[in-house]
Amino acid sequence: MSELPDFIPPSPSHSEAALVPRLGAGSDAKLREQEQFLRSIYEGVGYSVFVCDVRENGDLYVAGWNPVSEQDVGKRSVDVAGKPLEEVFGPEQGGEIARRFRTCVEQATVYVYEECRVFQGQERWFLTTLNPLKNGAGRVYRLVGTALDITDRRMVEAALRESEERFRLVAERTGQLIYDCDFRTGQILWAGAIASMTGYSPEAFQQFGFEGWKERIHPDDLLDVLTRLDRALQLRLPYQVEEYRFQQADGSYIYVQDSGAFVENEAGEVYRMVGTISDITERKRAQFQLQQSETELRRKTQDLQATLVELRRTQSQMIQNEKMSSLGQLVAGVAHEINNPVNFIYGNLTYAHQYIQELLEMIQLYQQHYPQPHASIQERAATVDLDFLMADLPKLLTSMKVGADRIQKIVASLRTFSRMDEAEMKAVNLHDGIDSTLMILQNRLKPRPVPGTKGEACVAIAIEKDYGDLPEIECYAGQLNQVFMNLLSNAVDALEEELERGRAFEPQISIQTQKMADDRIYVAIADNGPGIPPAVQQRLFDPFFTTKPVGKGTGLGLAISYQVVVEKHGGELRCRSTPGQGTVFEIEIPYGSTQN
């Protein structure tokens, strides 16, 4: 048990003693009762409590501390009582603590600060509060302090700052304004490419709320924008304005596209809207210029029709390029950069194997014709274990070739998957897209420890393929690859969540393809996870609807997949699921005559 430090000065002066009234037996009992009460608090609180004596010459000595302090510091109170801070905590750390304590003594008032300390080899953060005690003459003779361990809070704050910085960087690189409007207060939180789109600094633009936003809409466009917003609110539909003019800091206007989604409270009332504003000025300028070109071309002869078709194709490519994700370009770039050095390594492995084989043959000839080499050679051969090297080196080269083959397959899969920026439909084999997606997801399919087994048991997600004989079909290959990625990722997520819940089963994803009788391609992706409740199934393809935790899902994957399959390819995307029995997503895409 830690000693409770004496809160009465040990040797008061005569003037100080004159201030202490004489106490009878009843007062002694009351003091003992108060001391017992203070001791219970001192030893029972869940944070550090410590006492430090301040000598008349300003020196600081530890008077004692409670059991929590003993656990934090790793030293007993009785072992440190009466010792200076530098001796207890070391010259450097003790000196820092002493400087803080002397600041409190000089200010003679409560002193609160956060500090980082290293106790028992661990770096920890504390919220320290120092309370100075004064004697009758007004001199601070003792410090009573508390230290609350805030290490977890600091870690959470650091993680939050890092997350906010990542969001800020991502938002700035989208090239859009991102907003979060609170209808109750009229305040708007802005993020994204504020400076490049508006000309305002991010700090200045944050001052513009709902009214400030309206003031920057061109007067001729304001009524239409507000009408669309009111209609979306009334019908609870996504807010969408294809274009309106928005004023920049210099007074000029840009054309923007505005889209948002409403957020409801528990009572079903809309109280917020989040969305994006995109600059489409360049697209509008390109469209206008193209219209002028088309008007001029109509007056020319039939020989110029080819030029007109080319301009229209350019227009389609410009519009499509604005919608394409940068993911395809990134993956293709990475695949290209990896492929060059891999080809260099792979191409030289054959020669390396040949050269090493010849060197090994030469060594064998030397051993055959000179069985008794010089002693230094024998000693060196024994040191490097020459027989083992000669036996293991070909195996090592074979292993390197296997690794190079693996990298080439991964690069090929990345190239297949990175067709996202292809604006035209091309004839492809859907199996290649599915296999490339599985290759990219391979790391998530590997064995992982089963919860509760302390790593003694592992389970992998099995992939079962039932591929039919499919013809090549005309499609947007990159977009369909993204659909496969979304569906397979969701299946892996569902199986991982089920494993984390401790369910004992063999996770499996089944992929089936076949050619149907009515010139349609059928693809089914099934898992044996927990299944999807009927209420959730009704909203699966709604934009921004997700059942995943905040930060893990955006609610756009299935909505985009539905758009790609149904609107882009004229197909169907369905979900069949029974809770507890798994989920199946079915895709049907036309080909041949029905595709047209």
What is the model's pTM? 0.37
Helices then strands (H, E): number in the chain?
21, 19
Cα end-to-end distance, the chain, whole Å: 86
Q: Name which of 273-277, 317-321, 400-404, 573-577 the model is least confident about.
A: 317-321
pLDDT band at 141 (very low <50, low <70, confident <90, very high): very high
Those residues with Cβ within 8 angstroms of residue 595's Cβ, 6 or more apart along the chain or in another chain: 473, 474, 519, 569, 570, 589
Evaluate if residue 550 carries a pLDDT over 80.
Answer: no
Contact between 561 and 483 under an 8 Å Cβ cutoff? The reply is yes
Contact between 81 and 62 under an 8 Å Cβ cutoff? The reply is yes
Evaluate if residue 171 carries a pLDDT over 70.
Answer: no
Residue 11's pLDDT is 34
Fold assignment, 424-596? Heat Shock Protein 90 (3.30.565)
Q: Radius of gyration of the chain from Cα atoms?
A: 37
Segment 24-43, tens digit of pLDDT: 445 667 666 666 666 666 77
Segment 187-241, tens digit of pLDDT: 998 888 888 889 999 889 989 999 999 999 999 999 999 999 999 999 888 899 9
Segment 432-461, tens digit of pLDDT: 889 888 887 888 888 888 776 776 778 889
* Percent of the chain's residues with pLDDT above 90: 28
Residue 332's pLDDT is 60
Residue 553's pLDDT is 66
Residue 362's pLDDT is 86
Evaluate if residue 13 carries a pLDDT over 50.
Answer: no
Residue 465: φ, ψ to 5°: -110, 135
Q: Does domain 14-149 have CATH number 3.30.450.20?
A: yes
Residue 327's pLDDT is 52
CA distance 515 to 523: 9
Evaluate if residue 18 carries a pLDDT over 50.
Answer: no
CATH number of the domain at 158-279, out of 1.25.10.10, 3.30.450.20, 3.60.15.10, 3.40.50.2300?
3.30.450.20
Nearest partner of 197 among 244, 243, 247, judged by Cα: 247
Residue 525: φ, ψ to 5°: -120, 115
More confident residue, 310 or 368: 368
Handedness of CA 525, 531, 536, 537 (dihedral sign): positive
pLDDT band at 10 (very low <50, low <70, confident <90, very high): very low
Residue 112's pLDDT is 94
More confident residue, 436 or 124: 124
Segment 499-548, tens digit of pLDDT: 888 777 889 999 999 998 888 999 999 999 999 998 888 888 887 777 77
Mean pLDDT computed over 544-555: 70
More confident residue, 61 or 358: 61
pLDDT band at 572 (very low <50, low <70, confident <90, very high): very high
* Percent of the chain's residues with pLDDT above 70: 78
Mean pLDDT of the chain: 80
Output the CA torsion 162→165→171→175 (10° steps): -140
CA distance 44 to 38: 10
Residue 558's pLDDT is 83
Evaluate if residue 311 carries a pLDDT over 60.
Answer: no
CA distance 55 to 85: 13
User: Per-domain residue ranges for the chain?
Assistant: 14-149, 158-279, 284-323, 324-421, 424-596
Residue 218's pLDDT is 94
Q: Which residues pair with 262 in a beta bridge?
A: 273
Quick count: other Cβ atoms within 10 Å of Cβ 317?
A: 12
pLDDT band at 19 (very low <50, low <70, confident <90, very high): very low
Contact between 556 and 544 under an 8 Å Cβ cutoff? The reply is yes
The reply to whether 424-596 shares the fold of 158-279 is no
Local structure of 255: helix, strand or coil:
strand
Residue 17's pLDDT is 34
Mean pLDDT computed over 339-349: 71
More confident residue, 76 or 398: 76
Quick count: other Cβ atoms within 10 Å of Cβ 65?
A: 27
Residue 25's pLDDT is 47
Residue 420's pLDDT is 47
Helix H or strand E encompassing 275: strand 270-279
CA distance 81 to 62: 5
CA distance 436 to 427: 16
Evaluate if residue 299 carries a pLDDT over 90.
Answer: no
Residue 30's pLDDT is 66
Strands 473-475 and 572-577: unpaired
Those residues with Cβ within 8 angstroms of residue 327's Cβ, 6 or more apart along the chain or in another chain: 418, 420, 482
Local structure of 395: helix, strand or coil:
helix
Residue 265: φ, ψ to 5°: -85, -175
Contact between 213 and 188 under an 8 Å Cβ cutoff? The reply is yes
The conformation of residue 419, written as its DSSP 8-state character, comes to: G
Residue 515's pLDDT is 92
The total number of residues shown for the chain amounts to 596
More confident residue, 172 or 342: 342
Which tokens is 175 given?
Answer: 């090239």
Evaluate if residue 498 carries a pLDDT over 70.
Answer: yes
Handedness of CA 323, 327, 328, 329 (dihedral sign): positive
